[in-house]
Amino acid sequence: MNQSDRSFELGKLYCDRGEFVPAMEHLSEASEYYFAEKNFSQYLKCQNLLLRVYAEREQFEDINLTKEKLQDLVLKEGFELNSKTYYTLAVCATYKGQHETALDYLQKALAIALASDFKEDICHAIFGLAMVYSHPKIGRQSDALKEIYNLQVFFQVYQMPELQASSLLLNADILKQLKKYDEAIDILWRAYDVIKETRNVVMGNVLLGALADSYFELGDKDMARTYIVLASRSVDSENHRRTARMIKTLSEKIGGDSHSNFDLIFDEANHAVVEKKMGRIDFKNQFILLDLLRLFVTSQGTIYSKEYLVENVWKQPYDPAIHDNKIYVTIKRLRKLIEPDYEKPKYIFRAKNGYYMNKSARVHFEH
């Protein structure tokens, strides 16, 4: 793998994680390499990802500059307007609220993709059309649903998990517009299964907000508050400005003291915990601590002996000489992570013959 491809893959990885500052650095670097190599197909992939980042961070000036770069590319380099170019221009137009212009670009993108029979470009053009059709200002929800159902045929054959997750989220949004909230929730849980595999942080938070909104519209305010709490505590309000604004609006709509419903929220899908005072706590690459906390959370009040912990968390036969100190140190590390006041623990307690999770703590386990 050459330097340009390495920079692109790193940028995409950071983009999926929602770590947009390093994502922009690597994608911008990859763009320069690809442009110098006149590898315009990969260059456009970089621009597509950068546009996603700019939109999420609400960097509208950068969106405008991207469109100007693409226009210069066409005029100065004699670059052919292929399907991906039109799709990227459509994305720019959508972010600027120019929906009719976006539709024109996407219809051209689809025609070129169909002529070349390039499936990835076909799917992106179809998704783009569905996205624009579904906008309230366009009001073509039935056409949008038809395009989404066309995409499902492709997804049965071609693996495009991120686009599949995006199409499911869009499908659910259209169903919400049509007030079909039960159907929207079913689609959102299908989206959850895909997003869990992609580990795309922003999509995960959008999903939580959509679930909260759907349950609220169905009249289940408690369930709505559960999901808006998780979304509010999980979203990076500085980095993910667009999603954070959406979640804030939903939180105000749902009402109630949503931030105090739970003391501790265990976010299984994202390997994280949300603590009432401390906020989001990331457990990435801390598998023993996560497994230990999962055990406590799933059965509050149950006392787990040292033997049980060693055999079920470490998967080893218990040896006091080896494991007693290891358990002590690990519990100490876990407390330092999740306890607002380490000297006065409120979650993990010690009994004569083991450890347990405080039964009175308001804990929510999010699968």
pLDDT tens digits along 244-266: 899 989 988 887 544 456 888 88
| Per-residue pLDDT at 259 | 45
What is the distance between the alpha carbons of residues 116 and 118, in angstroms, rounded to a whole number?
Answer: 5
Q: Measuring CA to CA, which residue among 95, 66, 128, 129 is closest to residue 242?
A: 95
pLDDT tens digits along 104-137: 999 999 999 999 999 999 999 999 999 999 998 8
Bridging pattern class, strands 363-366 and 272-275: unpaired
pLDDT tops 70 at residue 148 = yes
| Per-residue pLDDT at 68 | 85
| Per-residue pLDDT at 15 | 87
Contact 269, 192 (CB under 8 A): yes
CA dihedral 111, 112, 118, 119 (to 10 degrees): -30
What is the distance between the alpha carbons of residues 87 and 84, in angstroms, rounded to a whole number?
Answer: 5
Within-domain flag for 311: yes
Within-domain flag for 85: no
Within-domain flag for 89: no
Within-domain flag for 345: yes
* Token digits of residue 231: 């979304």
pTM, rounded to two decimals? 0.65
pLDDT tops 90 at residue 239 = no
Count Cβ atoms within 10 A of the Cβ of residue 168 and give its class: 0-12 exposed, 13-18 middle, 19 or more buried.
buried
Within-domain flag for 97: no
Sheet strands (E) in the chain: 264-267, 272-275, 279-282, 348-351, 354-357, 363-366
| Per-residue pLDDT at 367 | 61
Instruction: Give the range of the structural domain holding residue 316, as residue numbers without chain letter.
Output: 287-361
* Token digits of residue 344: 């006065």
What is the distance between the alpha carbons of residues 272 and 337, in angstroms, rounded to a whole number?
Answer: 11
Q: Measuring CA to CA, which residue among 147, 233, 134 is closest to residue 178?
A: 134
Q: Directed axis angle between helix 161-177 and helix 141-155, to 10°?
A: 150
Within-domain flag for 343: yes
Between 33 and 16, residue with greater pLDDT:
33
Q: What is the mean pLDDT of the chain?
A: 88
Q: How confident is the model over 1-20, as a mean pLDDT?
A: 88
**What is the domain count for the chain?**
1
What is the distance between the alpha carbons of residues 290 and 272, in angstroms, rounded to a whole number?
Answer: 8
Within-domain flag for 211: no
Within-domain flag for 48: no
| Per-residue pLDDT at 256 | 54
- Region of poorest pLDDT, from 11-25, 85-99, 212-226, 252-266: 252-266
- Kindly report the CATH number assigned to the domain that includes residue 342: 1.10.10.10
